Amino acid sequence: MPREGPSRLLRSILHRIWPWKQQGRKDTGDGDHQAGTDASSVVRVTPTKSTAGSSLTEQRASFKYRPLELPTAIRIVVLRRGSGNDPIECRLLHIDRGEIPYEALSYEWGLPSNYDPFISVDGCHVRVRTNLRDALMQIRLKEKNRYIWIDALSIDQVNTEERNHQVQMMGNIYKGAEQVIVWLGPAKDDSDFVMDMFADTRSLARGLDGFQKTQFKAFTALCQRSYWRRVWVVQEMFLAQRWIVHCGSKSISDTNLDESLATIARSSNRHSKKSVMSLAHTHIIWKHRLGENFHTLHQWLRLCVNAQFESTEPRDFIYALLGVANDCRNGQLLPDYKKPLLEVYLETVALCNRGGEVGADFARRLAEKVGLTFDENVQRLISEFNTGTAGRGLDLMAP
């Protein structure tokens, strides 16, 4: 008799041991949503040419995306040229990935607000998060349009099937971009001073030993911004051919940032040690430092759990790493936002356990990271799922 497939077996176990209605943990938290995890990112639009006298509510209608027809198709945001207080105008362009050069935006969505602004997309007023509007205001060019892949606009957020497929492609999307644009947010906490120092590493090296505690606080503040703790940043920057970092009106290259962090690490200034400790989390995602040491999903997950990376949508803590995990390149684990969280977790642990490396501590910490309770039921599910699919149960007594 043939062995049951993983999904069928898993659902059978879940129905027997865990009430099915408890598996679909619904996360409605706010904050760092990414890559199709929040259907409210582009919620409503108002036609630009509205009927005079009609109310805003009457003018609103659901934004209609034109379906992507090819399996490798993506939407590129054409950010029209502009400057100053010019309104932000965009249009969506369907392309086959690799058909034309494009950039990709890496940013933090931020909290939703009733005061979130509108931008123009394909002639409609589309509400976006404030942080995205701020990014578009700063990165648009004065003389020509810019072609950018932006998750909140390029993915139809209310179409789960499309979200699943586009998230699966995200590794290739960022890898194929000519440049990844990193947006840290508006200027604050003396970030202009830090960005100027990072842009001129020679001046930084000469002046570093004379810096006071307050100046190091500015360095620390920039490198402790919540952007750096997004789990998505691992994939977005690790796979980038090159990237440029924007903060407020300032920008620096990836080379300048990397050299600046190394310069601070070598400094003998007594205030630099504490500052360097805050920079360690930023260093942890540098592609040149990780390229030879991390390969499997288990290794990446262990790194991100230990380094306290975060995701608002629990499944994203796993899905965000699929693009950099060598053992997931052939579809061993695919993004599926319809799957219950527990099912995604069990499939992940089973995949990680193929190399026989997973112990109870990792399984427990990953469960807690995604918001599950590592109780007897979950331990039994792990053991039964592994036994049924791999012929080997997880040794829950292992370290």
Which of 228, 206, 211, 205 has its CA nearest to residue 275?
211
Confidence at residue 272, expressed as pLDDT on a 0 to 100 scale:
66
Tokens coding 107: 């940013």
Instruction: Report yes or no: 245 and 180 within 8 Å, Cβ to Cβ.
Output: no
Q: Where do the structural domains in the chain lie, given as residue ranges? A: 1-25+291-399, 191-289
Instruction: Report yes or no: 162 and 155 within 8 Å, Cβ to Cβ.
Output: yes
Tokens coding 334: 């695919």
Which of 224, 230, 399 has its CA nearest to residue 316?
230
- What is the arithmetic mean of pLDDT over 219-235? 90
Confidence at residue 275, expressed as pLDDT on a 0 to 100 scale:
62
Please give the mean pLDDT across all residues of the chain: 80
CA distance 205 to 121: 45
3-state secondary structure of 118: strand
Nearest 5 degrees, angle CA 89-CA 316-CA 72?
60
- 146-149 and 118-121 beta bridge pairing: unpaired
Is a pLDDT exceeding 70 seen at residue 337?
yes
- What is the arithmetic mean of pLDDT over 207-233? 87
Confidence (pTM): 0.80
pLDDT tens digits along 68-118: 999 999 999 999 999 999 999 999 999 999 899 999 999 999 888 999 999
CA distance 201 to 389: 54
Residue 52 vs residue 333, higher pLDDT: 333
Instruction: Report yes or no: 61 and 40 within 8 Å, Cβ to Cβ.
Output: no
Confidence at residue 261, expressed as pLDDT on a 0 to 100 scale:
80
* Band of pLDDT at residue 323, cut at 50, 70 and 90: very high
* Band of pLDDT at residue 132, cut at 50, 70 and 90: very high
Confidence at residue 388, expressed as pLDDT on a 0 to 100 scale:
62
pLDDT tens digits along 195-207: 999 999 888 888 8
Highest averaged pLDDT of the listed ranges 22-31, 158-167, 207-216: 158-167
Say how many Å lie between the first and final Cα of the chain, rounded: 36
Which of 5, 3, 22 has its CA nearest to residue 378?
22
Confidence at residue 10, expressed as pLDDT on a 0 to 100 scale:
39
Is a pLDDT exceeding 80 seen at residue 340?
yes
CA distance 381 to 20: 13
Is a pLDDT exceeding 60 seen at residue 389?
no
Instruction: Report yes or no: 221 and 195 within 8 Å, Cβ to Cβ.
Output: no
Q: Which residues contact residue 214 at a Cβ distance below 8 angstroms, ignoring those fewer than 6 apart?
A: none
